Amino acid sequence: MPKNNQIIPPSKAVTNNDYTELLRELKSILAKGQFKAYKAVDNIKVQTYWQLGERIVREELKHGDRADYGKYLIDNLAADLKIKKRRLYEIVRFYRVYPIVRSVTAQLSWAHYTSLIEIENEEKRAFYENKAILNSWSVRDLKKEIRAKLYENTPKKEIQAVFQVKLPSSRPQEIFKDTYNFKFIELEKGRGESDLENKILESFEKVLNEFGEDFAIFGRQVPIKIDGQSDMIDSCQERIAIRLPFLNCIGIILK
């Protein structure tokens, strides 16, 4: 009788192409499921923040005769809700910029919106919002284009054309990039996995920016047990704002 976990060769020949195709399809299924779960959590966060903003603003309006009441609310709510003041101000500003809930799209994450609400000009903000949706920009892409003054450098006719294009329906897989740019991690050929891990951690701020905002590392070489087998996770990160941990298993074949 074979020992547990021993790989038994198939009784009939199975081509490498068959297995490779199966593996590719299974990876695709897992990736799509992860996209949907991740996006669902972020969409819930956006909706929750909009509701918080609406309620806070409504309370402010009830006491409109008190000029300092807004600050009083933020100071006390930050302490009682355990939310940073900066985040609460962002939440209130988010609602003021997007007072109609239908104007909030599921195709943009909270990190996208924190960049958009900083733009005072309404047309300029709408331009970047539409471009981010149409081109599936990551948060990093959006910030880069804002810094590059894409709106100011785009002819008026082209800006108007952006508003004429029908926005695609929400598709979670379009919010995330298929590939990531880690070229800033310089590694000599022939180096192993541990060398890659060390290089990534040396450049971890850049790596986290590539994944998205609000990520932080909270463990390295973390033990994990799956189906009774012990293994190690190279590094673990957490999305601070929503307290959603995820595992980053570094297992890249260097060529």
pLDDT tens by residue, 46-99: 999 999 999 999 999 888 778 788 899 999 999 999 999 999 999 999 999 999
Q: Is the dihedral of CA 149, 133, 117, 110 positive or negative?
A: negative
Alpha-carbon distance values, 151 to 71, 97, 126, 127 (Å): 33, 19, 10, 7
Residue 177 corresponds to which amino acid?
K
pTM given for the model: 0.58
Average pLDDT, stretch 28-33?
A: 79
Mean pLDDT of the chain: 75
d(CA 106, CA 199): 35
Q: What is the pLDDT of residue 128?
A: 97
Residue 246 has a pLDDT of 42
Distance CA(177)–CA(25), nearest Å, equals: 18
